[in-house]
Chain A
Amino acid sequence: MELLRYILRRTVLSAFVVVGVTFLVFVVAQVVPSDPAALYAGPRPTAEQIEKARQELNLDAPLPARFATFAAAMATGDFGVSYKSRRLIAEDLRSYLPATLELAVFSTGLALLIGIPLGVLAAARQGKWPDRLGSFSSIAAVAMPTFFLAMILQLVFAQWLGILPLSGRLSREISISAPLPMVTGFNMIDALLAGRIDAFGNALTHLILPALTLASYPAGVAMRLTRSAMIEILERRHVAAARALGLSEPRILFGHALPNAMGPALTVIGLSFAYALTGAVLVEIIFAWPGLGRYVSEAILAKDFPVIAAVTMVVTICYVVMNLMIDIAQALVDPRVALS
């Protein structure tokens, strides 16, 4: 009951955030010092062409009416047409968004899988060599520039060892000779749906290096946060009580102390996910990953405002949904959260 009320409250708050961002995106479009009609009209437009574009884009209508049109379009997923390519933005997103989500989800998962156990280990061996090594690696992971780590990984795993592909989402043999039917846009899921184990493996191997690169920073943060939370929790009375009850040390660490430390660790998911969604531009470029980061960075350079607005909206919604899920997960892990 408490839990349901909590979820409802969180959902309503999240909806407000989305509405607020819609408003902001619209306002920013009005104050940006560039004329959308001139951009829409193409290179070196005449005054007539600009005037025609202005009418086509309905730019002369009063602001509230234009916001209503904009909000309605966003709500229905009609993001309009790119000024530059004249392609439907919704069509573009259908292939770019799954690519980025795939990367974001995978790298966030990797970050947690690496960061949390290392943080637990460091806390359990506080001041000893596992702690020192873990703390050093986490600082290195956070401090390492993405492009540098990406190049090292490419050099070692693609160039020297030759066990992982250098870049791209799929090998040519698959994407050209035997393309996957696009159902969800997530290659691994589509491969499974089509029963193509070879394509699944191929998509997975392409994902590993960019995901590792993206996971490095959040993994370092997850390790630090888990470590400090665990150190605090291991001091608590119920941990001593669990020892007095004869529970094994791994059971105490992972079964009793870690659930108490999951709050900070879950927070990292939100951080890592947001970082992967838009901070991934460099990674997407280095690994030739056809995702949102690359798409939006080109749009920004071209002042292609509808694309920027659409990506902002989509990323906002992904992020809000992710945070909502984290809030719910925290309430499930710690039943006291729903009470506050």
Chain B
Amino acid sequence: MTLLDVRNLSVSIPTPEGDVHAVRSVDLSIERGEIHGVIGESGCGKTMTGMAMLGLVPQGARIAADRFHFDGEDLSENASRLRGRRIGLISQDPAAALNPVLSIARQMDDVLSAHRDMPRQTRHAEAAALLAATGLPDPEKVLKSYPHQLSGGMQQRVVIAQALATGADFLIADEPTTALDVSVGAQVLALLRRLVSERGLTVLMITHDMDVIAEACDRATVLYAGRSVETGPVDDVLRRPGHPYTRALLAALPDAGPHGARLAAIEGSIPPPRIAIAGCAFAPRCPQAMLVCAAEPPPMRARATHRWLCHLPEDAA
């Protein structure tokens, strides 16, 4: 069953020098109970897409979409009501996401008292139980602590426990492992997977790291210059990528080439977010670009539920 259904989402921010097209056209279809990865390089609009779902876009920003539905409700009207009730956020840098001058107990209790109607004693027990559910060994001690007394991995677990405390069933995880050591990051991903299966959560995983997609996600959507260019089951996207950009991303992974070889990089850079783009946004950097690519928007190619936008014929992929 589709929990999140987004068609042609755009977010533009007016500035004195003209509109910034942070998100140009994003399609997302997320099934209940899956971890859906959204991948792309910095500035491709992945975080802004998540913020639009939370109704936390910068002041003055315009959101438009053909369809922007969460569990049957229109997010363009209800985002701020659903935020913190059904949609939660796990942000990139847990140290910045926690309030430095309040104890973890206060911060957990604030969330619980905002969403659950229970007496203080019960809230304390519930806070400890949620912290334990995120794999923190000594919840009572963590509750007494302040954020600076915890390690990055523990902080991220507290942030996850807070998101669970809201009762949200859809979590937007914005690069949840970027600020962490690799091994701690892997533990956090494993924790998210466990919570998804145990609690029936759905997660939108925003990342720039193909390894995170491979390790934790069921399906993935690739963003380029504010557009979703490819989407499908992770195995298909990683093993038989349709879009030349996805192929270039995979080729740029350190372990993709022979040992000792120069790392592959994608030539050029993403188009600036202020300009209008007529054809395929990747055309200037695409090794297989044709004349038509810069002129006309690419058509949809599909292999079962694996879809991408490209002028190249399907069998070229």
Contact = CB atoms under 8 A, between A and B. Distances in A.
B295 interface: no
A237 interface: yes
B97 interface: yes
B97 to A, nearest CB: 4
State the main secondary structure of chain A at its contact with B: helix
Range for the number of chain B residues in contact with chain A: 20 to 34
Nearest to A244: B89
A17 interface: no
Contact of B97 (A238, A247, A333, A334): A238
Interface of A: 236-238, 240-248, 251, 255-256, 259-260, 262, 333-336, 339
Nearest to A336: B148
Nearest to A242: B99
A336 B83 contact: no
A242 B88 CA distance: 10
A245 B101 contact: no
B235 to A, nearest CB: 32
Contacts of A333: 101
Contacts of B156: none
B84 interface: yes
Contacts of B100: 238, 260, 334, 336
Interface in B98-153: 98-102, 110-111, 114-115, 146, 148
A245 B99 contact: no
A133 to B, nearest CB: 21
Contacts of A262: 101
Contacts of B54: 244
18 contacts: A237-B91, A237-B93, A237-B97, A241-B89, A241-B97, A243-B56, A243-B84, A244-B54, A244-B84, A246-B114, A246-B166, A248-B114, A259-B101, A333-B101, A334-B100, A336-B100, A336-B101, A336-B146
Contacts of B99: 238, 242, 256, 259-260
Give the secondary structure class of B's interface: mixed
B99 to A, nearest CB: 5
A334 B163 CA distance: 24
Contacts, number: 76
Contacts of B84: 243-247
Contacts of A240: 56, 91
B74 to A, nearest CB: 19
B56 A245 contact: no
A310 to B, nearest CB: 40
Q: Which 6 A-B pairs have the closest CB atoms?
A: A246-B84, A244-B89, A237-B96, A241-B97, A334-B101, A238-B99
A236 B147 CA distance: 15
Contacts of B228: none
B85 interface: yes
A252 to B, nearest CB: 9
Nearest to A260: B101
Contacts of A245: 84, 88-89, 110-111, 114, 162-163, 165-166
A241 B91 contact: yes
A260 B101 CA distance: 6
Tell me which of A240, A245, A333, A336 has the highest count of chain B C-beta atoms within 10 A of its own C-beta. A245
A259 B111 contact: no
B33 to A, nearest CB: 22
B98 A238 contact: yes
A243 B85 CA distance: 11
A246 B101 contact: no
B159 to A, nearest CB: 8
Given A237-B91, A335-B146, A336-B148, A243 B83 contact: yes
A262 B54 CA distance: 29
Given A246-B85, A246-B166, A259-B101, 18 more contacts: A237-B91, A237-B93, A237-B96, A237-B97, A244-B91, A245-B84, A245-B89, A245-B110, A245-B163, A245-B166, A246-B114, A247-B84, A262-B101, A335-B101, A335-B148, A336-B101, A336-B148, A339-B148
